Amino acid sequence: MTLNSFLKLEPAYRDYVWGGDRLRPGHNPTAEAWVVWENDIIESGPLAGKTLGEVAAQNGAALLGTKSIERTGNRFPLLIKLLDCAQWLSLQVHPNDELAVQMEGPGQFGKTEAWHILESQTGAKLIAGLKPNISADVLADSIRNSSIIDHVQYASVSQGDTIFMPAGTLHALGPGLLVYEVQQTSDWTYRVYDWGRPQTETRKLHIEKSIQSTRTDFTAPIIPPPAYGDGTTHKLVECEYFTLELLSAASHTINLDTKGESFHAITVIEGNAILKNEGEQVQLEKFQTAVVPANMGAYQLIPAGNCKALKSSA
């Protein structure tokens, strides 16, 4: 089947204890907007009302592209979120593909991810890995006795910074951050430490799984913002699971092409933009998202004034 329409998506929201009010004013706390997810509903066009996952299952490579099919079959391979952090998130870690299958069962995926900082209050910090020379024994003991926070690596971040977070990296986002997160299509999260919050049925610690999953040899570097230009594309992160790029424009159109290899997920993070091909166009306002099917090929991003967008592909 040929897919020629942009798939504008309705986000799904998650109301966790650490959320704020920037994603859904009036709904506090709103912690996460899942802006690209296999269960997101398509908002308009000939496929309106279907989920992204249903369209992937029915159309395969026409939506996903040849590269995605090789890794995850007809399952949509990425999950993209916006996170509004009013409090510290739990200190957590995600398994790699091998451990996900081992600990959670056949067909499960690990979770490598990347963050792009959309907004950052003065003094905002996050945790990205461990201090140097922490042994596996010290790691295990400190996770079990809740002193792990003494061994983590804090980092100050600003708007426009990017952080690549391979599976196995201990991490946490701090208060005052609004973050774009792209990850494998997995939400396996092992909670290591939760800042003294009481454990509940939905917020448990996962001590032994955390010990098995955590790498002691990696501290995630902070990638500074690129030099923005009018009509420019900047590659922020590239790994085996996804590529994250920043599109920046004010008056110049950006020409893009899926080449049939992968879908493009476009999220506007500043201003407004129009996505256009030969047959149709769709307007995206700030924080709105559309998926461009892999078989669409060439299309354009046309800015409405100063505009920035993030483009993720598999």
Q: Is 188 helix (H, G, I), strand (E, B) or coil?
A: coil
Q: Which amino acid is at 172?
A: A
Going by C-alpha positions, the residue among 166, 158, 185, 146 that lies closest to residue 239 is 166
CATH number for the segment(s) 232-313: 2.60.120.10
Assess whether pLDDT exceeds 80 at residue 288: yes
Evaluate the omega torsion of the peptide bond into residue 175 and state whether it is cis, within 30 degrees of 0.
no
Q: Which residues have a Cβ under 8 Å from the Cβ of 306 and sit 6 or more positions away?
A: 249, 250, 270, 271
| Global pTM value | 0.96
Q: What is the pLDDT of residues 28-68, one digit of tens each?
A: 899 999 999 999 999 988 999 999 999 999 999 999 999 88
Q: Which residues have a Cβ under 8 Å from the Cβ of 248 and sit 6 or more positions away?
A: 228, 229, 230, 231, 232, 233, 234, 307, 308
Q: What is the pLDDT of residues 127-178, one digit of tens each?
A: 999 999 999 999 999 999 999 999 999 999 999 999 999 999 999 999 999 9
Could you tell me how many residues make up the chain? Answer: 314
Assess whether pLDDT exceeds 70 at residue 236: yes
Tokens 């042994």 locate to 135
pLDDT of 70: 81
Dihedral sign, Cα of residue 28, residue 31, residue 35, residue 36? negative
DSSP secondary structure string for all residues of 237-250: EE-SS-EEEEEEES
Q: Which residues have a Cβ under 8 Å from the Cβ of 69 and sit 6 or more positions away?
A: 60, 61
Give backbone dihedrals phi and psi of 56, rounded to 5 degrees, phi first: -65, -45
Going by C-alpha positions, the residue among 242, 244, 241 that lies closest to residue 223 is 244
Give backbone dihedrals phi and psi of 263, rounded to 5 degrees, phi first: -60, 160
The whole-angstrom separation of Cα 262 and Cα 293 is: 8
pLDDT of 201: 86
Shared fold status for 7-223 and 232-313: yes
Pick the CATH number of 7-223 from 2.60.120.10, 3.40.50.1970, 3.30.360.10, 3.20.20.140: 2.60.120.10
Cβ atoms of residues 170 and 127 within 8 Å: yes
136 CB-contact burial (10 Å; exposed 0-12 / middle 13-18 / buried 19+): exposed
The residue that leads in pLDDT, 199 or 183, is 183
Give residue 2's pLDDT band: very low, low, confident or very high (50, 70, 90).
low
The whole-angstrom separation of Cα 112 and Cα 95 is: 8
Q: Is 263 helix (H, G, I), strand (E, B) or coil?
A: coil
Cβ atoms of residues 115 and 179 within 8 Å: yes
Q: Which amino acid is at 292?
A: V
Domain ranges of the chain: 7-223, 232-313
For residues 106-115, average pLDDT = 96
DSSP secondary structure string for all residues of 63-119: HH-HHHHHHHTTS--EEEEEEEESSPPPEEE---HHHHHHHH-TT-----EEEEEEE
Q: Record the tokens describing residue 263, joined without a space.
A: 């879908």
